[in-house]
């Protein structure tokens, strides 16, 4: 574990941690004043007025990141910005990100097919059968959608029922879920289809046998990195969002669940993180954080915000982008972070429009 820098665990009080996070968020606000946004990211007059409300909200009426997200999702159905659809397209984002970075950072595509193309779907099934023959692990997921719905992981495909694998592909191709109707227009405009990719190492793989409950750990170690106006401002774990926060410099802040006012009900209760997984995280940060931050900021060029989800800890693949998400969730249950992120987003947009420095946390 690093003594300082990326991967270091910061021994901070709650108040000190909040000040540290505010400092990082100010980098996003500063970045906004010099950034040229894509036209599709420019806020409407209605959103600008809402951002003013966010900035002045106080006390029990304080608006947090969920409020920002829901407002923008509603407005997306009016703007129908086709230029942003690729950010939620699990096929297109692989190609565009590779072009932007000059290197493949997602896991490679084994196969992909739109739901409307029967011939392409057959190639998808053929690719899956090839993985079965090789007993090479892979994952099936919808090209569209979110919240891990219809994602099927096949760690030992040769031992699986081939019919079940093919059914998972068929389900992903035409997947529908009620939760997706509450997501942005952009996400729902993604072409329906499915993709096959290698399966990244699961957290459960690094634990000692005999652990009581591995259900929550039957997934890769995933770090959700938030970029604000081209600047990384922090990150949290997908599986344990209330356990820790990663700073802009890759240092780790561990939350105390007893802190009054820290957590909000929503996604579940505070849960402990197994020591082996924590060590895997801090080791990955100490080795790879500069590249993760650099790539995340490069992908988000021209965007007012973007969440870049990184998979960590696989000794073969190394750090890989799992997916990109625009207008997505971020630390919603850690209220002191959620409302500060909302105010930073509001201050960033308003400062570049009014060409003046705004203090969102005073």
Q: What is the SS3 assignment for 265?
A: coil
CB count in 10 Å sphere of residue 136:
15
Q: Name the residue among 329, 303, 326 with its Cα closest to residue 31.
A: 303
Q: Name the residue among 355, 337, 278 with its Cα closest to residue 313.
A: 278
The pLDDT assigned to 264 comes to 56
Residue located via tokens 């389900």: 171
Cβ-count burial 17-34 (b if 16+ within 10 Å, e if not): bbebbbebbbbbbebbee
Euclidean distance between CA atoms 274 and 290, whole angstroms: 25
The pLDDT assigned to 267 comes to 45
The pLDDT assigned to 211 comes to 55
Are the CB atoms for 277 and 237 separated by under 8 Å? no
Euclidean distance between CA atoms 78 and 62, whole angstroms: 26
Q: What is the SS3 assignment for 47?
A: helix
Helix (H) or strand (E) holding 253: strand 252-254
Q: Name the residue among 166, 163, 165, 171 with its Cα closest to residue 115.
A: 171
Q: Name the residue among 254, 256, 273, 257 with its Cα closest to residue 313.
A: 273
Q: What is the SS3 assignment for 243?
A: coil
Euclidean distance between CA atoms 196 and 192, whole angstroms: 14
Which residues, in sequence order, are bridge partners of residue 306?
A: 227
Which residues, in sequence order, are bridge partners of residue 9?
A: 252
Count the helix, strand and coil residues of the chain and give each as a percent rounded to the nearest 5. Answer: 45, 15, 40
Residue located via tokens 């938030």: 226
Mean pLDDT, consecutive 10-residue stretches, the chain (362 aa), reads 83 95 96 93 97 94 96 97 96 97 97 95 94 96 93 95 94 94 95 97 82 77 98 96 96 86 59 93 98 98 97 97 96 92 97 85 84
Are the CB atoms for 238 and 226 separated by under 8 Å? no
Q: Name the residue among 131, 220, 124, 110 with its Cα closest to residue 174.
A: 124
The pLDDT assigned to 339 comes to 96
355: which 2 tokens?
A: 């060409």
Burial class, 315, CB count within 10 angstroms (exposed 0-12 / middle 13-18 / buried 19+): exposed
pLDDT in tens, 11-25: 999 999 999 999 999
Euclidean distance between CA atoms 153 and 220, whole angstroms: 11
Which residues, in sequence order, are bridge partners of residue 106?
A: 321
pLDDT in tens, 315-345: 999 999 999 999 999 999 899 999 999 999 9
Q: How many residues does the chain have?
A: 362
Are the CB atoms for 100 and 202 separated by under 8 Å? no
Single pTM value for the model:
0.95
């Amino acid at each position: 574990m690093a003594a300082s820098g990326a991967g270091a665990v910061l021994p901070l009080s709650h108040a000190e941690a909040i000040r540290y996070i505010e400092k990082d968020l100010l980098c996003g606000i500063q970045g906004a004043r010099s950034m040229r946004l894509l036209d599709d990211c420019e806020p409407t007059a209605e959103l600008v007025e809402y951002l003013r409300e966010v900035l002045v909200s106080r006390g029990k009426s304080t608006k947090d990141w969920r409020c920002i997200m829901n407002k923008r999702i509603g407005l997306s159905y009016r703007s129908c910005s086709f230029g942003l659809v690729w950010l939620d397209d699990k096929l297109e984002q692989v190609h565009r990100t590779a072009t932007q970075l000059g290197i493949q950072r997602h896991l490679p595509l084994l196969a992909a097919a739109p739901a409307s193309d029967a011939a392409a779907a057959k190639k998808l099934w053929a690719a899956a059968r090839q993985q079965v023959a090789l007993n090479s692990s892979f994952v099936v997921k919808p090209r569209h959608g979110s919240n891990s719905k219809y994602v099927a992981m096949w760690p030992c495909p040769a031992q699986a029922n081939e019919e079940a694998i093919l059914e998972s592909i068929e389900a992903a191709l035409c997947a529908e879920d009620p939760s997706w109707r509450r997501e942005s227009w952009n996400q729902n405009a993604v072409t329906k289809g499915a993709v096959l990719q290698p399966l990244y190492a699961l957290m459960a793989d690094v634990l000692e046998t005999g652990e009581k409950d591995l259900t929550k750990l039957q997934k890769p170690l995933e770090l959700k990195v938030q970029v604000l106006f081209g600047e990384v401002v922090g990150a949290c774990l997908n599986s344990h969002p209330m356990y820790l926060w990663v700073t802009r410099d890759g240092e780790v802040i561990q939350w105390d669940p007893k802190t009054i006012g820290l957590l909000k009900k929503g996604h579940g209760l505070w849960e402990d993180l197994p020591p082996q997984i924590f060590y895997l995280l801090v080791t990955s940060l100490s080795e790879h954080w500069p590249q993760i931050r650099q790539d995340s900021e490069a992908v988000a060029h021209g965007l007012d915000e973007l969440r870049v989800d990184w998979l960590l800890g696989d000794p073969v693949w190394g750090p890989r982008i799992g997916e990109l998400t625009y207008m997505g969730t971020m630390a919603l249950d850690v209220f002191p972070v959620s409302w500060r992120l909302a105010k930073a987003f509001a201050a960033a947009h308003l400062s570049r429009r009014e060409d003046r420095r705004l203090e969102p946390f005073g």
